[in-house]
Every structure is written in structure tokens, then in C-alpha cells.
Amino acid sequence: MAAKRTKYIFTTGGVVSSIGKGLASASLGALLEARGLRVTFMKLDPYINVDPGTMSPYQHGEVYVTDDGAETDLDLGHYERFTSARMSRGSNVTTGKIYQAVISKERRGEYLGATVQVIPHITDEIKSRVIEATQNADVAIIEIGGTVGDIESLPFLEAIRQLKLEAGANNAVSMHVTLVPWIGAAGELKTKPTQHSVKEMREIGVQPDILVCRTDRPLSRSIKEKISMFSNVPVDQVVAAVDASNIYELPILLNAEGIDEKVCELLNIWSRAPDLSGWQRVHERFTRPTKGTAKIAVVGKYVHLRDSYKSLHEAIIHGGLANDCRVELDYVDSEQLEKASAQELEQRLSGADGILVPGGFGERGVEGKIKAIGYAREHGVPFFGICLGMQLAVVEYARNVASMEGANSAEFDASSRFPVIDLMPEQRQVRDKGATMRLGAYPCRLDQGSLASTIYGATEISERHRHRYEVNNDLREQLAAKGLRFSGTSPDKRLVEMIELPGHPYFVGCQFHPELKSRPMSPHPLFVHFVKASLERARALAAGSSRGTDDRPRADAPAN
């Protein structure tokens, strides 16, 4: 029997960047999955970096890590959060990766004397990667980064034009995401940017089949008709994506616009009506939580660009969903805490029911994070440290409890007398920066009876990593003797994976990135329990103040 062929949906974006192609793709994927189809995704990024791993979070937002250790675009996080599809190394392709492969083939003489060119060699490399990475799905949603009209996205658009042609009728659709802005002065929604964007698409030979129009208000029938007329897209294939109150409402909104039904019709797919009850429950919980609010301070360096902490932000929200509470997030710039006096620190952090220090690289703001961790430890505020956040919790404990004066991570002070965080020998050999960290899923064993094992309800776990530095094994004993518990390690015990502080209401750190695996319908236990502890503190404080007393839990003496 011939293998069933994968049908394609190609997502492109027009008018402006950050238009939400990733979320539109992920939401459509969720709807198709809710119809019982096997869905996968791919992201094609036109930049020349081989992967986003070497890019600053300010440039590119979060680097999303897959189980198999690829450093990828943050849209892959949306795909994994919205569906059960699992992304891997082949799911994110960049211009850099394509050229690297083509140039190596040329050096090996594999092109047999041909002149190597953008068409067909680069486009063929793109096409073969798309075919390879999507072959086991019913439907593959392939998103092209950037905006149509960018010079660098042309080879990708040419490749999808060819793939669409080769797939034939009913096997591929092109979905174009555009903007329909409201111009206040004219009191009108404007369709011209969409018209121009579709014109660009048609110039390169791809007629969009579905238009997803981002807008801040519903599109009337007459506006849709106007867009349809000028863009040559049938009116019932013009879909409004009205700004949602939260991203998990998007599948519901797009379904109401009929997008999944239309896509199935165009792809000639017979499927059941989608079961959206899960999404409805998530949306309901998000909009009307019944158990109050937990205020969480996220103390980090990249707080001015939310995309840098995309998965983290979502995972905290998921923790709120699991606890049926609202989570109020306060992003605190760690650099501003560096110079803060004790009183200013108190002012900035005393409103927080929980303090989270996320992952990061580089020295800026590090001392501010250490201060925030010290505050959480001493005041019994629930604390969650992730990757760098855990490493700095070890530094703080070493300095302020274990009397290791000047303790630091070797990342920030190579000559510290107490390098409690240091490179393992294998990382010392590394010269290239790209793809050389400890990356991807590794197993971790949790101590029986530890808080960590209670949270997970297991002692064997697997989580995703992205770091170079580790807890220094030479100083581990000394820290443990002073009360810091190393509750999770690699199975060979060489690497510390989790820490906790017995006697503190909730103080947990992990070397890995649990936020990468949290989903709205299966929130990650570490976020569920951190939000739970924060909510408990909020309630205890509220009960205390309503009785007119301050019975906030205190642990002024170090908990050792």
C-alpha cells in the first residue's frame, strides 16, 4: 500500500513582523488535532545563524530546546504547548543550516560538477528537509519566518511554491496572516495593507487560500467582501483573528470563524467535528478563577522583552490554571536590585507571594538576583530557581550560610576562592559557542523523601537542559553539611539537578528548564507546586492582616 501522503499548510506573514503567525499556526494545529488528525509542524527561518542558540534573547526572544537537544525558535514552544506534536532537530530550519549543508555537499563533490545555485540547489535542500521532517503526519503546518517582501525569505517562498504545486490540488493550502488596522482618525478598519501583502505573495507565485486577518475588532461581512475582492480569496476563506483575552482562547475564536472546517474542505479531509471542551475549560479557568490571586515576582535580566521568557511566562500561567487562581506577574529588573538598600529591597519584593529567578547568561544583574534569593530564603517567601536561578541560590547559600566568603560561579568570577558553580572538564575543552552546551533531555534521579520527589510523585524524571556550568562537586559536601539538600542528581550522581532547603516553606531549584514541557492541559508539577505555595502564603498573609496581626512566616535565622 502506498504511504499516506502528508498534507501541507504553509503559513506566511505580511504587513508587520510579530503578527502572530506562530500562534495562528499552533491554534489551527490544535483544532485539527481536536478533529482527530495527526498534526506536526515546522518552522523555516530566513536568518543566516545556523540556529538561534548564539543569538541574544533581546534579538530573538527565548531559545526553545527540544528533547533531542536542538536550540530552536520560540514558535516551536507554541506548537508543543498547543498540540501533542513533539518537535525535534529537523523541525526548525534556517538559511544558515541550509547553506551549511549545501556547501558541505559541494565540497564533497556531490553535485557532480554542477554550478551550485539558489534554484534548484538551495530550494531542493529546503524541500527535502520539509518532506523528511513532516512525513509521519496527516497534516503538517509549515511556518515561514519573517514577512513577505523580505529579500532573505525568497528561497523559502520559492520552495513552498514548488512544494504546493507538486503536492497537487487538495493536498496543500497557503495561509497568510495579515493585519487589518483600525485607524482612529478615520474611524475605519483599513484593508490596504492586506491587499498589498497578498499582491506580494502573488508576485512570487503563491496565491493565499486562507487569509487570517489580525484585528482588534470583529470584521464585518462588507470588510471581508472587500478583502476578498482585492485579494482573490473567497470571502468565507477570509478569517478574522480578533485580539484574544489570552492565547488559549485563540483556537476557540478561530473555530468560530470556521477556519478548521474550511481547511479540511480545501484539503479534502473528512473528520469529526472538533472536541473543544479542553480549550473551553482552560479559557474558563483563565477568565474566572475562583481561588484568589498569587503575586509572583520574576527577577531577571531580560524583563523588558517578554518574548525572552515566553515558555516561563506560560508555565507560570499554567500553574495558576492548575490552582484555579489568578497569577499576577511582576517582572523585576535584577540590575535595579543590585544597588538597592535592604529597605529598598524590602519595598520592591515585600508584595511578592513567590519569587522566581529564571535562567540566564552573563554577569549583568547577577548580584541583584542573589539579593532577591537571599530575601526569599530569609523571609520564608516561596522560591523557585531555574538553571542560573538555581546556581545563584547555591552561591547565595554558600556566601551567607556556609561562610564561604566571595563564593561565586566561575562564569562571573574565575578567581573566586569558592567556585561553587564551575565548568566540568568536558566543557573546558569547548571552543565554539554554537550548540556546545549541555543540551536536551537528560534523566535525573530524585532522593526518596525529598520535596522534589513528592512534587513529581516519582523518583525518575527526564527534563530538558541548556547550560554549561554545574554545581562544583568539590564543594558539595561542605554545602550539604550546612543544610542545603541536593535532592536530584544525574543517575551517576556526578551532576546536581535539583536543590531544596529543608525547613523553608518552599525553596526549590533545578538545573534544567521545566518551563519547556509545561502545557495548559498538563501543567508542569514544579510550577503547580510553586504557585500553590505562593497562593498559600498570600492566603496566610490575608488571614493575618484581616485579624490585624502580621503573622507572616519568618525564618530570620538561616534555615540550616
Q: Which residues are catalytic?
A: 387, 513, 515
Among 111, 230, 331, 361, binds ligand GLN (CB under 6 A): 361
**How many positions of this chain bind ligand GLN (CB under 6 A)?**
10
Exposed / middle / buried, residue 187 (Cβ in 10 Å: 0-12, 13-18, 19+): exposed
* C-alpha to C-alpha distance for 129 and 38, rounded to whole angstroms: 19
For the CB of residue 412, give the shortest distance to ligand GLN in the complex, in Å. Answer: 9
Residue 468 contacts ligand GLN per CB under 6 A:
yes
- Angle among Cα 165, 171, 177 to the nearest 5 degrees reads 80
- Chain-centroid distance of CA 403 in Å reads 38
Q: Is the peptide bond between 52 and the residue preceding it cis, with omega within 30 degrees of 0? A: no
Question: Residue 511: phi, psi to the nearest 5?
Answer: -80, -20
* Closest C-alpha among 233, 319, 254 to residue 20: 254
Determine the interface stretch with ligand GLN among 24-32, 96-104, 305-313, 462-470 (rule: CB under 6 A): 462-470
* C-alpha to C-alpha distance for 135 and 42, rounded to whole angstroms: 11
For the CB of residue 467, give the shortest distance to ligand GLN in the complex, in Å. Answer: 3
Nearer CB in complex with ligand GLN: 148/516:
516
Residue 32 contacts ligand GLN per CB under 6 A:
no
For the record, the C-alpha cell of 316 comes out as: 507560570
Instruction: Write out the DSSP string of 341-378.
Output: -HHHHHHHHTT-SEEEE----SSTTHHHHHHHHHHHHH
Interaction residues for ligand GLN, span 365-394 (CB under 6 A): 387-388
Per-residue x/- track, 391-430, ligand GLN (CB under 6 A): --------------------x-------------------
For the CB of residue 360, give the shortest distance to ligand GLN in the complex, in Å. Answer: 5
* Closest C-alpha among 498, 485, 494 to residue 459: 498
Residue 512 contacts ligand GLN per CB under 6 A:
no
Interaction residues for ligand GLN, span 341-360 (CB under 6 A): 359-360
For the CB of residue 392, give the shortest distance to ligand GLN in the complex, in Å. Answer: 9
Residue least distant from ligand GLN (Cβ): 359
For the CB of residue 411, give the shortest distance to ligand GLN in the complex, in Å. Answer: 5
For the CB of residue 338, give the shortest distance to ligand GLN in the complex, in Å. Answer: 18
Among 466, 485, 504, 532, binds ligand GLN (CB under 6 A): 466
Interaction residues for ligand GLN, span 78-117 (CB under 6 A): none
Among 78, 121, 161, 467, binds ligand GLN (CB under 6 A): 467
User: What own/partner pairs with CB < 8 Å and gap ≥ 24 does 336-345 have?
Assistant: 336/368, 337/299, 337/365, 337/367, 337/368, 337/369, 337/371, 337/372, 338/365, 338/367, 338/368, 338/371, 340/368, 340/371, 345/371, 345/372, 345/375
* C-alpha to C-alpha distance for 368 and 300, rounded to whole angstroms: 9
Determine the interface stretch with ligand GLN among 91-99, 465-473, 477-485, 543-551 (rule: CB under 6 A): 465-473
Nearer CB in complex with ligand GLN: 218/362:
362
Per-residue x/- track, 261-300, ligand GLN (CB under 6 A): ----------------------------------------
Query: Which residue type is seen at 514?
Result: P
In this structure, the strands spanning 326-333 and 383-386 are unpaired
Contact set with ligand GLN (CB under 6 A): 359-361, 387-388, 411, 466-469
